[in-house]
């Protein structure tokens, strides 16, 4: 059974940006695939393959795998688009006898260059946090991206990051830095202490990514230096862009609200020092769905707020 669930996948380079909208080319190809599969038209499916897929999985081999899969699981009753990541689309695929995840990869010619079936598991979506959250910093910071619309928050197009915040520090002149801003040390956020917003367990630490020169992004490891905290209620707190070698916690460590995690930096896909923070429903950002985050007590534009989710332009600070 296990061998039948994995065809062969030629997957593109990982990109952490996820899309929530199915593209027309994927819809067309996935619909044709399901129709051909249910009619046992294996030659028609192979005709949709790229040359690399054809070489790795010629008609004889594909027919053997496809026939075995269909004999065990039956026909495909329906598919549901879940997410698009880079060149691959994930579908919840309901057979007569089981539910699998189908990952379909297309090349620039809309040929199938990857096809993967495996057991489908999706963590339960969490609409909002039930754990009380404290702001993860001291002093006044400004929300540069945050909210539910694309105008407020460019993260909304990513499934995992759809409720994310980007926080920076501005001075009275509306600048995020002093002097020329050519050095990370010029930025008010750089080196500021970042704290655990609640109790939890550290499940991931990345600490060795170099800080960028301001204005020069690093798209290779987009989050840069990272801390993920697992919360007892099933939420995961995701911190990105720490200063290199500044993280003070280790994987497996239990932390309490207010514990020092590390220092704000400019690592990863970051143009200047800032904190990226969001909640999600599982550890792996490539599979997770974002969770809307409300902070328990904070000052917003000089006024005290309770159970509030900041939006773009808010000046916020913790209430001690």
Q: Which of 246, 256, 202 is nearest to 224 (CA)?
A: 246
* Residues 55 and 148 grouped into a single domain: no
CA 313 to CA 89: how far, in whole Å? 34
User: Residue 19's pLDDT is what?
Assistant: 53
Q: Is 215 exposed, middle or buried (0-12, 13-18, 19+ CB in 10 A)?
A: exposed
* Residues 278 and 147 grouped into a single domain: yes
* Residues 167 and 95 grouped into a single domain: no
pLDDT at 10 over 60: no
User: Residue 1's pLDDT is what?
Assistant: 40
* Residues 18 and 100 grouped into a single domain: yes
* Residues 201 and 284 grouped into a single domain: yes
Residue 259, in any domain of the structure: yes
User: Could you tell me which residues are beta bridge partners of residue 297?
Assistant: 306
CA 133 to CA 307: how far, in whole Å? 9
* Residues 145 and 114 grouped into a single domain: no
Tell me if the pTM is above 0.85.
Answer: no
Residue 53, in any domain of the structure: yes
User: Residue 249's pLDDT is what?
Assistant: 98
* Residues 95 and 161 grouped into a single domain: no
Domain range holding 206?
Answer: 141-318
pLDDT tier, 124 (very low <50, low <70, confident <90, very high otherwise): confident
Residue 127, in any domain of the structure: no
Summarize pLDDT for 212-228 with one digit per residue, the tens: 999 999 988 899 999 99
* Residues 112 and 205 grouped into a single domain: no
CA 183 to CA 77: how far, in whole Å? 57
* Residues 115 and 156 grouped into a single domain: no
* Residues 303 and 184 grouped into a single domain: yes
Measured in residues, the chain has a length of: 320
Residue 131, in any domain of the structure: no
pLDDT at 86 over 70: no
pLDDT tier, 2 (very low <50, low <70, confident <90, very high otherwise): very low
Summarize pLDDT for 127-181 with one digit per residue, the tens: 999 999 999 999 999 999 999 999 999 999 888 899 999 999 999 999 999 999 9
**Which has more pLDDT, 257 or 118?**
257
Number of domains in the chain: 2
């Amino acid at each position: 059974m296990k061998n039948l669930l994995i065809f062969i996948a030629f997957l593109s380079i990982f990109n952490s940006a996820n899309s929530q909208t199915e593209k027309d080319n994927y819809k067309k190809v996935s619909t044709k695939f399901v129709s051909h599969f249910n009619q046992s038209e294996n030659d028609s499916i192979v005709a949709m393959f790229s040359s690399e897929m054809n070489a790795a999985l010629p008609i004889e081999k594909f027919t053997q795998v496809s026939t075995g899969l269909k004999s065990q699981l039956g026909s495909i009753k329906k598919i549901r688009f879940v997410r698009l990541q880079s060149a691959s689309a994930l579908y919840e695929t309901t057979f007569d006898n089981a539910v699998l995840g189908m990952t379909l990869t297309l090349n620039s010619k809309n040929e199938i260059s990857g096809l993967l079936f495996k057991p489908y598991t999706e963590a339960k979506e969490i609409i909002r946090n039930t754990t009380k959250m404290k702001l993860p910093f001291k002093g006044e910071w400004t929300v540069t991206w945050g909210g539910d619309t694309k105008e407020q928050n460019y993260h909304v197009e990513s499934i995992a990051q759809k409720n994310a915040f980007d926080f920076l520090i501005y001075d009275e002149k509306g600048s995020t830095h002093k002097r020329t801003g050519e050095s990370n040390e010029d930025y008010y956020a750089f080196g500021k202490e970042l704290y655990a917003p609640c109790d939890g367990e550290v499940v991931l630490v990345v600490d060795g990514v170099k800080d960028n020169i301001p204005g020069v992004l690093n798209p290779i490891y987009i989050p840069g230096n990272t801390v993920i905290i697992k919360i007892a209620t099933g939420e995961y707190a995701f911190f990105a862009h720490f200063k290199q070698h500044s993280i003070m916690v280790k994987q497996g460590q239990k932390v309490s609200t207010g514990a020092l995690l590390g220092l704000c930096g400019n690592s990863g896909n970051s143009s200047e020092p800032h904190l990226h923070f969001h909640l999600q429903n599982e550890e792996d950002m490539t599979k997770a769905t974002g969770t809307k985050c409300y902070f328990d007590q904070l000052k917003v534009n000089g006024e005290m707020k309770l159970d509030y989710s900041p939006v773009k332009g808010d000046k916020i600070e913790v209430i001690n």
